[in-house]
Structure 1
Amino acid sequence: MAEWMSTGIPAGDYWGMDVRRAMAFQRNRRYLYDRATEAVGNLWNLHWPHKSPKTARNVRVSPLHSRLAQAGANFGEVAGWERVQWFGEPGTKRVTHATFGKDDWFRHSGAEHAATRSDVTLFDQTSFAHMLVQGRDALALLQRLSTNDIEVPVGRIVYTPLLNQRGGMESDVTICRTSDEEFLVVTAAAQRIRDLAWLKNHAKGAGQATIADVSSGYVTLSVMGPQSRELLSLVSPADFSDTAFPFATAREIEIRYGIALAFRMTFVGELGWELHIPAEQALGIYDAIVAKGYDLSLRQAGYVALNTLRLEAGYRDWGSDLSDEDTPLESGLGFTVAWDKNRISSVVPL
C-alpha cells in the first residue's frame, strides 16, 4: 500500500483494497452499520455457493424486479444490485440454499443452461454499467486506452481490454461507436466505478472528450439461443438476418411501442442480442418479448446459468479469470490486440 501511495501504481492485484470497488451509496451510514455488523458475524460462517448478504438488500433493483420475482426469481446481490441467480417455479418461496451439494439451484440453472443451447432464453442484465464518451477527441482517447482498434464505422462494436502500465488488464469492456464523436462503453456492474475513474482520469489530458455515467438510464435484456432471431422477429420489424445484422454490430430497433439499441453480441456462445433499452420503456418491451416467447418455449434465466454457459464457451470474466496482473497474451486474448492500428498521435501519453 505504501508503494502504491508513493508511486501511484499498485505493485500487483490489490482489488480487495481498492477504493474503486465500492459504490457511492455504500458510504450511507445505515448501510455501513447493517452490512458491517453482518460481515463480522459471518467471519467464521461457512460461505455456501451463491451466498449473498441478508442485510442492506434491495438497494438497486431493475425496473423489471417485480416481474422477475413473480416468475420465480431467486435473487443474489452484486454491487448492490438484486440480480437473478436462477428461476424456481413461479409462486414458490425463494430460499437460500445452504449446501455444497446439488440442491434445487443446480437443477434449475441446469435447465436454463440447456434451454439456451437448444431454444431461447431471456436474461435481465440491467446491472451492466454504461458510460458515454463524447467529443472531438473521444476516438483518440479510446484508441489510446484500448488494445483493440476502435476506429471503426458507426454501428460497430469492439471488445477490448484496457491496459495499465505493466501491460495488465485494468478491465475489459465492450465499446459501441454510436456516432462519429460518440461511443457507448459497456462494462460489468462490479467494475463501474473502477472503469469510470480510469476513463475520467485519462480524459483530463486528452483534449475535448467527456465521460458521463448513464447507467441508470438503461435496462439491458439479453435474448440468447438458436431461436433468438425468430423470437425477436416476432416483436420487431427489424431485419435480424446475418446480412442485415452481422455479428458485432449495433442497430436501433423498434419493439412494441419502444426503441432499443440492439447489440448482436453473446457471452454464452450462442446466437443472440443484447437489448439496451431506455429504463422507462423496459416494462412494455419485456412484456412483449415474454408474451411472444411463449410458443417458442422461452425460458428466463439467471446469472448461474450465464456463468456456466460462458465457461463452457471459453469466455473470460474479469475478476474471476482475469486480473490487472494478466496480459491479453497470457490470457488467450491476443486477438483483441490490434498491433498495427492507427494510434492517433494527438493523444497525450498515459
Structure 2
Amino acid sequence: MSAFPTQAQIVIIGGGIIGASTAYHLGKLGFSDTVLIEKHKLTSGSTFHAAGLVGQLRSNAGITQLLGESVKLYRTLEEETGLATGWKMNGGLRLACNQERWTEVKRQATTARSFGLEMHLLTPKEAQELWPLMDISDVVGAAFLPTDGQANPSDITASLARGARMKGVTIHEDTLVTGLTVRNGRVTSVETSRGSIACEIVVNCAGQWAREIGAMAGVNVPLVSVEHQYMVTERIEGVTPNLPTLRDPDRLTYYKEEVGGLVMGGYEPNPIGWAADGIPEGFNFQLLPSNFDHFEPIMELALGRVPALETAGIKELINGPESFTPDGNFILGQAPELTGFYVGAGFNAFGIASGGGAGKALAEWIAGNGRPPYDLSPVDILRFGRNHQDVGWVRARTLEAYGKHYTIAWPHEEHASGRPLRRSPLYDRLKAQGAVFGEKLGWERPNWFAAEGEEARDIYTYGRPNWSGPVARENRAARSSLGILDQSSFAKFLLMGKDAEAALSYLSAADVSGPAGSVTYAPMLNERGGIECDVTVARLSPTSYYVIAGTGAATHDFDWIRRNISSALDAHLVDITSAYAVLTLIGPNSRKLLEKLTRDDVSNAGFPYASLREIRLAGAPVRALRLTYAGELGYELHLPTEFALTVYEALMAAGEEFAIANVGYRALETLRLEKGYWASGSDVGPDQTPFEAGLSWAVQLNSGRDFIGRAALEAKVGQPLKKRLAGFTVADPNVILLGRETIYRNGERMGWLSSAGVGPTVGLPIGHGYVRRAEGGLDDAFLLAGDYELEVAMERVPAKIHLGALYDPENERIFA
C-alpha cells in the first residue's frame, strides 16, 4: 500500500461507483495528483447492493446524453482495464397497461427519436417474444430500447478503480473523513482518521453520507436516505442471459436477469425513510432487515405479470437504503457556498446507469474551472434554493417524489408536499379568488384562476386539461383590456459599488452603460458563448443596478454573477428577493389604470418602454419598470413587500372600470408563445448562443468592450449557424404540443421543440424549437423553403414554420 499523502490537487471522498468514475475520468484528463478516500472499502455504501439496470432515456437532452456516455464507457471498460464489468447490452423494455400510459410511452418514444436514441414501439405479443415469462393480458403496448442494458455494480466499480490507478490516481480505503478546513471561501484540507491532506479541490461523492460531509464545510446537499427493496430469485426456467431488463410502471416494478434467476424490485407509493437522525456508525456493507409486509403489495403486482414467481425459490429480499432527492434528479456540480467544492451524489437508485457519464461530466466540470461541459441544469446543485435548506422539507418532498417514481409523469404536474412554504403577501387574497397555485423553489405562484362554479384544482391528462378554458379567458382579458399577475417570486439582486458598471459590463454581452432609469435585457454568456443567465438589469444610479432573474434561476444566477466579479473591483452583490413584491400589469388599459392612482408622469413620453421610474402609487413607493413578456403594453411594479396588499387592493378597485382580471403563469405562457418570446431554461440556455436563439440584437460586439463569451461569439461571426430557434404552428387545434416533439423538414429529422403550448388568440397549437443542420448551415431562405412536420406521440402532423411573432409582429401594442 502506498504511503498516505499529506497533499494532493484533488481529493475525492467516497469509493462507490460515482467516486470511482470521477477518479477514472480525472485520471484520463491528466489530473494524476488525485486521491480517492473511502471510509471502509470500495462499494461498501450503497453501490454493492444496487440493482444495476442501465436505462438512458430522460426528458432532458443533456441527461440523456450523460446516460449515453455511461453506455459508451461500459462497452469498452473491461477491454481497457482487464477487469470484468458484467455489462450486457441486452436492451430495455417498458410496458404500458392503459391508454394514458400508452400515450406517455409514445411520447417518450418521440422524445427518444428527438434525442437520437433508438426506441421501438411493440405490440404486446412482440414484447412477449422478447420477454416470454410475462403475462400480457393487460398490456396495451411496449417500448424497446436496444442499447439499454445492465451491469454488475461492484465489478464495474472495481474496473473503474483499476482504470483510475492505471492513470496515476491513488486510492486509500479505511480512511474516515473527520473534518474539512475552510479558508477564504474554499476547502484547503481534508482531515481524516489517518491524517490531514492539503488540497485545492474536494469532490463529495459520499452517497448517503454526502449531506453530512457537505455540512462539515457549510455546504447544503439536499438528499435523504430511503429504504429500497428488491428480491433475488433462484434459477427460473426460461430466464436466459440475454433477457432484456423490464420496467412495468403500472405495476410499479422492474426486473433483470441474474444468474438464471430474476431481480425484481419496485417503487411503492408509501416509501419508508431511513436514518432521519443520522446514519449509524460503522454502517458498511450492511443491509436493513427485510420488510416482507411492506414488500407484499409489490410482490402481488409482480405475480400478475410474471406467474413463474409463484413457484420460484427466493434467495433473499434485499433492503438497502439509498440516497434520494426532492425532484428525483441527482446532484452534480460546484457548490454555491464554496469554491472548489464539488458534489456528485443523490442518484435516486439509478447511480449505475448514471455512473459512467456522471463521473465524466464531473471531471470535465472540474477541468473547466467550475463550468459544466454542456447544459446539465436539471442536475446542477445550483437548482436548489432556500426551501432545500431544511432537511424536514427535503424529506417530505423526497418521499413524495419516490412514491411517484413509476406513476404517469403528467404534463404540468405539481408536487403537493411541503406546501405552502414561501408565500407572497397576496397568497390568501388570490386563493380566495380562485387561484390554483403551482410551486417553484418553494414559492407559491398562481397558475390559473377558477371562476365561480369551476373546480379550483388541476386535473391532469395528456389531453386538453381542465384549466384550458380559464387560461384562455385570462389570455383574452390581458389582450383586450387588463390583467394583473403576482410575480413576487422573481429573483432580485442589488449590484452596487463604484465599479458596478465595470463588473456588469464584463458579465453581460449587452450595453449596460446607460443612464439611471434605463432597463436592459442583459444576457450573460459562458466562455462557449452560450446563454448562462437570462436576466434584465435596471440602472438605479451611477453605482447601483437592480438585477431581475427567473424564480428557478435564483441560486444559479446569483452564484454566476458573484463568482465572475473580479476581486479587484468595488462591486458587491446582495440578494433582495424577499424585500420586494412584484405586481405585473398586462394590457392596453394598464397605463390608464396607473394614471388613476399616481400623480407621476406615466405617459409614453414620460415613461417610455425599457425604462424605470420611481413613482408613488396608492401611497406606496414603487419601482416601476415598463416591460412586457406578453406582447402588450405592460408594467412591472416592484414595491416593498409590506405595501403589496394595499397596492393590489387599490389596483383591483380602480381596475373595475377596465374589467381587470387576475391572470396566472399558464396564461402568461400562452401570451409569450403567441408573441414569440423565448423561455429561459428551455428555449435558451448554456448550450445556445444569442445568434442561434435570435437574440443578436442583445449583443454589443461593436463596442470594443471585453465580456465573457465575446471571443466565442467573434469566432462565430460570418460562420453558418448549425441550429436556429424558430416557431411552429399546427393547423389542427386538437393536437397537444408539450415540448420535445421531433421536428422534420422535408422528411428529415432536424431537431425538436424546446417549449410548446397553445395560443388562444391565434387559435393554434404553438411550439418553439431549434432546427439543426450539421452541414451547410441555416439561413432564413433554407428554413422557409422546407416543408415541416412535427412528430407527436409517434404520429407526424403537418406544421408551419415562423421566424417572427404570430401576434403583433410590428410591436405596435408594446410601444403604444
**Residue 52 of structure 1 is aligned with which of 414, 429, 437?**
414
Task: Measure how far apart 1:24 and its partner are.
Answer: 3.0
Aligned residues: 346
Does residue 240 (structure 1) correspond to residue 602 (structure 2)? The answer is: yes
Preserved CA contact (<8 Å) 2:458 2:467 = no
Structure 1 unaligned spans of 5+? none
Preserved CA contact (<8 Å) 1:31 1:56 = yes
Deviations, residues 267-306 of structure 1 (Å, cap 9, x unaligned): 0000010000100111110000000111111011000010
Residue in 2 aligned with 1:61? Answer: 423
In 1: Cα distance, 2:478 partner to 2:386 partner: 35
**Residue 253 of structure 1 is aligned with which of 615, 640, 659?**
615
5 Å-filtered alignment, 1:1-350, equals: 1-8=362-369, 9-89=371-451, 94-341=456-703, 343=705
Aligned partner of 2:647: which letter?
I
Pick the structure with greater CA Rg.
Answer: 2
Preserved CA contact (<8 Å) 2:524 2:531 = yes
In 2: Cα distance, 1:313 partner to 1:154 partner: 29
Task: Measure how far apart 1:81 and its partner are.
Answer: 0.8
Aligned partner of 1:5: which letter?
I
- Shift of the 278–32 alpha-carbon distance from structure 1 to 2, 3 Å rule, reads same
Tell me the secondary structure at the aligned position of residue 259 of structure 1. Answer: strand
Tell me the secondary structure at the aligned position of residue 16 of structure 1. Answer: coil
Preserved CA contact (<8 Å) 2:615 2:624 = yes
Preserved CA contact (<8 Å) 2:503 2:566 = no
Task: Measure how far apart 1:25 and its partner are.
Answer: 2.8
Preserved CA contact (<8 Å) 1:134 1:182 = yes
**Which deviates more from structure 2 when the two are superposed, residues 325-334 or residues 100-109?**
100-109
In 2: Cα distance, 1:270 partner to 1:312 partner: 11
Aligned partner of 2:366: which letter?
M
TM-score scaled by structure 2? 0.42
Preserved CA contact (<8 Å) 2:518 2:539 = yes
Question: What is the percentage of aligned positions where both structures have the same residue?
Answer: 38
Structure 1 vs Structure 2 CA RMSD? 1.6
In 1: Cα distance, 2:549 partner to 2:691 partner: 21
Preserved CA contact (<8 Å) 2:598 2:615 = yes
Tell me the secondary structure at the aligned position of residue 394 of structure 2. Answer: helix
Task: Measure how far apart 1:341 and its partner are.
Answer: 2.4
Preserved CA contact (<8 Å) 2:386 2:441 = no
Task: Measure how far apart 1:201 and its partner are.
Answer: 0.7
In 2: Cα distance, 1:292 partner to 1:178 partner: 29
Structure 2 unaligned spans of 5+? 1-361, 712-816
Q: Which has the higher contact order (CA 8 A, sep 6+)?
A: 1
Tell me the secondary structure at the aligned position of residue 498 of structure 2. Answer: coil
Structure 1 runs of 4+ aligned residues shifted over 6 Å read none
TM-score scaled by structure 1? 0.96
- Shift of the 250–91 alpha-carbon distance from structure 1 to 2, 3 Å rule, reads farther
Preserved CA contact (<8 Å) 1:157 1:174 = yes
Residue in 1 aligned with 2:243? Answer: none
Deviations, residues 125-148 of structure 1 (Å, cap 9, x unaligned): 001011000001110010011111
**Which deviates more from structure 2 when the two are superposed, residues 44-53 or residues 151-160?**
44-53
Deviations, residues 86-122 of structure 1 (Å, cap 9, x unaligned): 0002586532312223233000001111111111100
In 1: Cα distance, 2:452 partner to 2:638 partner: 26
In 2: Cα distance, 1:129 partner to 1:65 partner: 18
Preserved CA contact (<8 Å) 1:50 1:76 = no
Aligned partner of 2:432: which letter?
Q
In 1: Cα distance, 2:553 partner to 2:474 partner: 26
